[in-house]
Amino acid sequence: MDQRDAGFFDQFQRRTVEAAMARIIPTDHEPGAREAGAIDFLDRYLSGIDHVYAKPDGSGFAPPEGKRAEAWRQRIDIVRRKYREGIDELNQRSRAEFGEDFAQLPPDQQDFILTMMEGPVLDQEQAREEAETVAGFTPPEPALQQIAAETDLEFFPLLVLHTRQGFLADPIYGGNRNRVGWDVISFPGPTSLAEAHAGRYSTLPYFAGSADATGEEASR
Amino acid sequence: MMTKRNPDRADVCIIGAGASGATAAKVLTEAGLQVVTLERGPWWKPEQFSADELANVHRFNLWPDPLINPRTFQASADEEPTVQLFCPVPQMVGGGTAHWTGWLPRMTENEFRPKTIYGEVPGANLADWPITYQELEPYYDKVEWAFGVSGQAGANKYEGPRSRGYPCPPIPPTRYNQKFHEGCAKLGYNSFPTPSAALSCPYNGWPATNQSAFAQQHGDPTGTRGNAMTRFIPAALATGRFDLRPDCYVQEITIDAHGRARSAVYWDADGDSVEQEADLFILACGAIESARLLLMSRSGRFPNGLANGNDLVGRNATFHEYSAAIGAFEDPVYGWAGGGYVGASTFEFLEHAEGRDFVGGCHVASAGVGIPLPISFSLPDKPTWGQAAKDADREYFNHTMAVGLVLHDLPQETNRVELDDQVKDAWGLPVARITHTPHPNDLAQGRWIIDRNAEILEAAGATKVWRVYIDKVTGNCSHQHSTLRMGNNPDSSVLSKDCRTHEVDNLYAVDGSPFPTSTGVNPTLTIMANAWRVAEGVVARHGMPA
C-alpha cells in the first residue's frame, strides 16, 4: 500500500517529522526510527480512524464503531492540530536560530531545536527538585498503567511517544519494519499477531532453568 | 430514543458482569433463580482479544476511553477537579479480569481485624470486618477450585489455614522470580510463587498457559488465563436461567412506594430506554461505579442517593497504589517473560508490626518494569529521546526488574466518590469525581517497604537500584474498595454483614465496595469469595422462587 496516498502529512510536513524522529531514535550501528518506518506508522495513524485498531489475528484492521468512532475522530482531530502547529513551530524556531528549515539542519542543530521544544532546562530542573523534595524521586511511571493520554500531551512529548510506538509497536501498524525495533532492544516478539492469537507464541524459553535462553543472545 | 416493551420481571437483577457479578450470577442461577445481568460494556469472545500492546495499552482497546467515560479527580475538596482516568477498569463482560494477570492471594486472618490490631490511628476511619477469615475460607476454596488457580499451598507462611491445596501447581518461576527468591532467601524472608489465574496445567477443559509476553493489560485469546467471562459466565448460562445483556447501561435504580428497589432503568445497545424489574438487585459495577449509580438514583425518599440516608455512600474510598524498587542485573532477567507479572511474592511486610512508623503493611512481589513491554518500558532516570535513550533501552530492557507493592491505604471519610457537577459522560450523565489525599501512614508505609524491596534487589545482586516512592494515590492498580462499607452498625456503614444495604432491604453490593478496609493484598479473589458468600446468603434468605 502506498503510505503517501493514505497519509495525512504533506511532503514538507512529512520530511520535517521524519527528520525529528531520526533524532529521537537515531540510527547508529543499528537501525533507528528512520529504518523502522516510524514516519509511515504516524502518517497512517493520522490519516483517519481506519487504522487505529488491527484485527486481533492481524488479518487487517477493524475501525471503531459507535461512540468509540466519535471519540477517535475527536482524538485524531486534536492530535492533527498539535502536529500542524508543532511542525510550524519547529520550522520557525529552526529558521530563527539557524536560518534553515528543520529538515535541512545538521544533527547537532536539530538536537538543539528539539531541546528547545522540550521546554526550558530550568523548568525541568525545578520540576525534578520539587519531585525529589516530596518523594525522593518521581519517575516516568514504572507503574501498572501507562496509558498514553495523547490529547493531554504537548507536541514534543507526543512526537516522542509516537516515535517510540512507530519503532516498537507490532509491525502491522506500519512501523517497526522487519521488527528492527524489537531487534535493537532484543525483544523476541511474536512473528505475527496471528501467532500470538493462536497461542503459538511462548516466552517459556526465557523462564528460569530453561536451556534455550543462554544469555544475552537468546535464541529466537 | 424510544421506550421498548419492558422485559419480564426477574428474580434477581445484577448490574455488572465483572469478577463479582459473574460469581454471583453463577451461584444464584445454579441455585435455581432467574437472573438478568445488565452489563454496560460489550461481551467479547476470547478470540476478540489480541497481543497488541499499541491497541490494548495505548489506545483504549480495553481501558475505558476518557473521551467517552471520563472521571475527575481532586486531592481535596478545596481543589478544582481535573479530568483524569483515575482507577480505570475495563467496562465489559469480565471487567478487570478481562485484561489482568490475575494475582490471587488470600487475605491473612489478621487483615480482617485492622482496627483491633492497629488501634486508633488519627485521621483514619479504621473498621474491623464484620466477617472473619474462617467465615470466608470455604468461599476462597470454592473460588480457587471453580475458577482455577495455580499455586503452592503452604508456601506462604503467613497464610491462614486452608481446607485444601490449589487445583493446579504453581507457575514455574521466571528469571526475575528467581532473583526475587534468591534475594529473599539471603535476607531470611519467606517467599512463595504468587497464586495465579494463569493455568499451569490443563483444568476444566482449558489448556495450560502458553506464557505469551502479552498478558498484563491484554485480554487472553487462548482462554488459558482465568477471566470471569470464561470461567463463571458459561456456568451461569448452562443453567438456562441466565440472561446476560451486554451494552446495557443502567442510569438509575427506582424504588416503589415502600422504598424497596423496584427496577433498573437502562439504555440498551440500540440506545432505547428499558426498565427491568426484579425482586432483588445486586450492584457489581466496581466500587466507584456502584457508588455513582446509587448517587444518581435520587428520589423523594432518598434525595441524596439511594441507601444514602447517612451520607456514607462513596466515603472512605480506598484504592491501593503500585510502586516499586527497580534493580538492574548483569545477566538478563527478561522482565517481559510470561507478560512480566508471573509473580513471586512475600508477605513479610504485610502483617502489622510494632516499632515501625506506620501501621499495617502489604503484599510485595516481583515483576518486570513497566507493563513491561517494548513501548511502555521505562526507568526512573531514563532519557526520553536521543542516543542516550536508545542506549538505555538496549542496555536495560532485558536486564531490569521490579520488586513492587500494592499500598495498603487507610480509609478516610474525606476520601470519597461523588458525582461531578460539571463533567458528563458520553451519555450525558454526571461522572464520578474522586477526592483522595493519602494518609501520612500510606506514604510512610510505602517508603519503608520500598526500602526493603530495594534491599531484596541488592541481596539478589543488583548492580543498580532505583527507589520509586509514592507521593500520591492515582488508582494505578485499578483496585477500588470501601465506598459502601459493610458493618454491623447502620450509623457507620452502608451495607450489613450480608452486603445488603441497611436502608433498602432488597438491594445488595458484591464488588470491592463492601470492603471496610483496602487490605494489603490484591482484592479480586476476596471480592469473588465474598460475592459467592453473599449470593449463598441471598438464596438462603429469599429462597427459591414460588
pLDDT at B545: 52
- Chain B positions touching A132 (Cβ under 8 A) are none
Q: Distance (Å) from the C-alpha of residue A2 to the closest C-alpha of chain B? A: 22
pTM above 0.90, yes or no: yes
* Cα(B188)–Cα(B88) distance, integer angstroms: 37
Contact criterion met (CB < 8 Å) for B51 and A138: no
Percent of chain B surpassing pLDDT 90: 95
* B372: preceding bond cis by omega (within 30 degrees): yes
pLDDT at B542: 80
pLDDT, tens digit, 9 for 90 and up, residues B476-497: 999 999 999 999 999 999 999 9
How sure is the predictor about B1, in pLDDT bands with cuts at 50, 70 and 90? low
* Cα(A181)–Cα(A161) distance, integer angstroms: 14
Contact criterion met (CB < 8 Å) for A139 and B379: yes
Percent of chain B surpassing pLDDT 70: 99
How sure is the predictor about A210, in pLDDT bands with cuts at 50, 70 and 90? confident
Is residue A216 over pLDDT 70? no
Q: Would an 8 Å CB–CB cutoff place A197 in contact with chain B?
A: yes
Contact criterion met (CB < 8 Å) for A206 and B52: no
Q: Which of B66, B73, B88 is nearest to B18 (CA)?
A: B88
pLDDT at A139: 36
Q: Distance (Å) from the C-alpha of residue B345 to the closest C-alpha of chain A? A: 16
pLDDT at A133: 37
| CA angle B510–B511–B516, rounded 5-degree value | 90
In A, residues 151-170, which contact B (CB 8 Å cutoff)? Answer: 151, 157, 160, 163-165, 168-170
Q: Would an 8 Å CB–CB cutoff place B406 in contact with chain A?
A: no
For B474, the 3-state DSSP assignment is coil
CA B414 to chain centre: 21
Q: Would an 8 Å CB–CB cutoff place B343 in contact with chain A?
A: no
Angle, helices A155-168/A66-98, rounded to nearest 10 degrees: 110
Contact criterion met (CB < 8 Å) for B55 and A204: no
pLDDT, tens digit, 9 for 90 and up, residues A124-165: 555 444 444 333 333 334 444 455 588 889 999 999 999 999
Find where cell 492515582 sits: B474
pLDDT at B381: 85
pLDDT, tens digit, 9 for 90 and up, residues B286-304: 999 999 999 999 999 999 9
> With contact defined as beta carbons under 8 Å apart, do A50 and A61 qualify?
yes
Q: Which of B305, B298, B283 is nearest to B13 (CA)?
A: B283
pLDDT at B243: 98
Find where cell 434525595 sits: B303
User: What is the maximum alpha-carbon separation in chain A?
Assistant: 59
In A, residues 66-125, which contact B (CB 8 Å cutoff)? Answer: 67-68, 70-71, 74-75, 111, 114
Q: Distance (Å) from the C-alpha of residue B545 to the closest C-alpha of chain A? A: 39
Task: Report chain B's C-alpha Rg in angstroms.
Answer: 22
pLDDT at A100: 98
How sure is the predictor about B4, in pLDDT bands with cuts at 50, 70 and 90? confident
Query: Which of the 8 DSSP states describes residue B172?
Result: P
Contacts of B217 (CB under 8 A, 6+ apart): A144, A145, B56, B57, B62, B63, B99, B371
Q: Distance (Å) from the C-alpha of residue B132 to the closest C-alpha of chain A? A: 31
pLDDT at A99: 98
Contact criterion met (CB < 8 Å) for B172 and A165: no
> With contact defined as beta carbons under 8 Å apart, do B369 and B335 qualify?
yes
Average pLDDT value for residue range B86-97: 96
| CA angle A118–A124–A129, rounded 5-degree value | 165
Find where cell 466519535 sits: A70
Is residue B62 over pLDDT 70? yes
Query: Which of the 8 DSSP states describes residue A110?
Result: H
Average pLDDT value for residue range B365-392: 92
User: Of B44, B57, B59, B209, which to mutate for an interface test with A (greatest number of A Cβ within 10 Å)?
Assistant: B59
Q: Distance (Å) from the C-alpha of residue A10 to the closest C-alpha of chain B? A: 25
> With contact defined as beta carbons under 8 Å apart, do B319 and B517 qualify?
no
Average pLDDT value for residue range B334-340: 96
- Chain B positions touching A193 (Cβ under 8 A) are 50-52
How sure is the predictor about B65, in pLDDT bands with cuts at 50, 70 and 90? very high
B446, containing H or E segment = helix B440-459
Average pLDDT value for residue range B499-509: 98
Average pLDDT value for residue range A101-123: 89
Contacts of A111 (CB under 8 A, 6+ apart): A23, B386
- Chain B positions touching A138 (Cβ under 8 A) are 468, 471
How sure is the predictor about A220, in pLDDT bands with cuts at 50, 70 and 90? very low
Task: Pull the grid cell for residue B527.
Answer: 471480592
Mean model confidence pLDDT for chain B: 96
Q: Distance (Å) from the C-alpha of residue A103 to the closest C-alpha of chain B? A: 16
pLDDT at B85: 86
pLDDT, tens digit, 9 for 90 and up, residues A58-96: 999 999 999 999 999 999 999 999 999 999 999 999 999
Average pLDDT value for residue range B86-99: 96
Contact criterion met (CB < 8 Å) for A142 and B394: no
Q: In chain B, what are the domain boundaries?
A: 10-74+91-113+123-152+167-542
pLDDT at A5: 52
> With contact defined as beta carbons under 8 Å apart, do B337 and A206 qualify?
yes
In A, residues 175-194, which contact B (CB 8 Å cutoff)? Answer: 181-182, 184-187, 189-190, 193
Contact criterion met (CB < 8 Å) for A196 and B212: yes
The Cβ of residue B152 has, within 10 Å, a number of other Cβ atoms equal to: 15
How sure is the predictor about B544, in pLDDT bands with cuts at 50, 70 and 90? low
Please tell me which of the candidates A23, A137, A196 has its beta carbon nearest to residue B380: A137
Contact criterion met (CB < 8 Å) for A187 and B61: no
| CA angle B79–B85–B86, rounded 5-degree value | 65
Q: How far separated are the first and last CA of chain A, in Å rounded?
A: 29
Is residue A120 over pLDDT 70? no
- Chain B positions touching A200 (Cβ under 8 A) are 210
pLDDT, tens digit, 9 for 90 and up, residues B459-479: 999 999 999 999 999 899 999
Q: Would an 8 Å CB–CB cutoff place B338 in contact with chain A?
A: yes
Q: Would an 8 Å CB–CB cutoff place B379 in contact with chain A?
A: yes
For B345, the 3-state DSSP assignment is strand
Q: Which of B278, B172, B285 is nearest to A210 (CA)?
A: B172
Q: Would an 8 Å CB–CB cutoff place B269 in contact with chain A?
A: no
- Chain B positions touching A55 (Cβ under 8 A) are 50
Read off the amino acid at residue B177: N
Query: Which of the 8 DSSP states describes residue B150?
Result: B
Q: Which of B521, B545, B520, B531 is nearest to B146 (CA)?
A: B531
User: What is the maximum alpha-carbon separation in chain B?
Assistant: 73
In A, residues 2-21, which contact B (CB 8 Å cutoff)? Answer: none
The Cβ of residue B270 has, within 10 Å, a number of other Cβ atoms equal to: 10
- Compare all CA atoms of chain B with the CA of A67 and give the residue at the minimum distance: B68
Task: Pull the grid cell for residue B442.
Answer: 500510606
Contacts of B299 (CB under 8 A, 6+ apart): B254, B255, B306
Average pLDDT value for residue range B117-144: 97
pLDDT, tens digit, 9 for 90 and up, residues A25-64: 999 999 999 999 999 999 999 999 999 999 999 999 999 9
How sure is the predictor about A209, in pLDDT bands with cuts at 50, 70 and 90? confident
Contact criterion met (CB < 8 Å) for B334 and A203: yes
* Cα(B290)–Cα(B203) distance, integer angstroms: 33
pLDDT at B333: 98
pLDDT, tens digit, 9 for 90 and up, residues B403-419: 999 999 999 999 999 99
pLDDT, tens digit, 9 for 90 and up, residues B161-209: 999 999 999 999 999 999 999 999 999 999 999 999 999 999 999 999 9
Across the A/B interface, how many CB contacts are shorter than 8 Å? 231
User: Of A25, A144, A185, which to mutate for an interface test with B (greatest number of B Cβ within 10 Å)?
Assistant: A144
CATH of domain B10-74+91-113+123-152+167-542: 3.50.50.60
- Chain A positions touching B366 (Cβ under 8 A) are none
* Cα(B335)–Cα(B399) distance, integer angstroms: 7
| CA angle A89–A94–A97, rounded 5-degree value | 120
HSE on the CB side for B495, CA within 13 Å? 32
Q: Distance (Å) from the C-alpha of residue B476 to the closest C-alpha of chain A? A: 6
Task: Pull the grid cell for residue B381.
Answer: 532516570
pLDDT at A218: 41
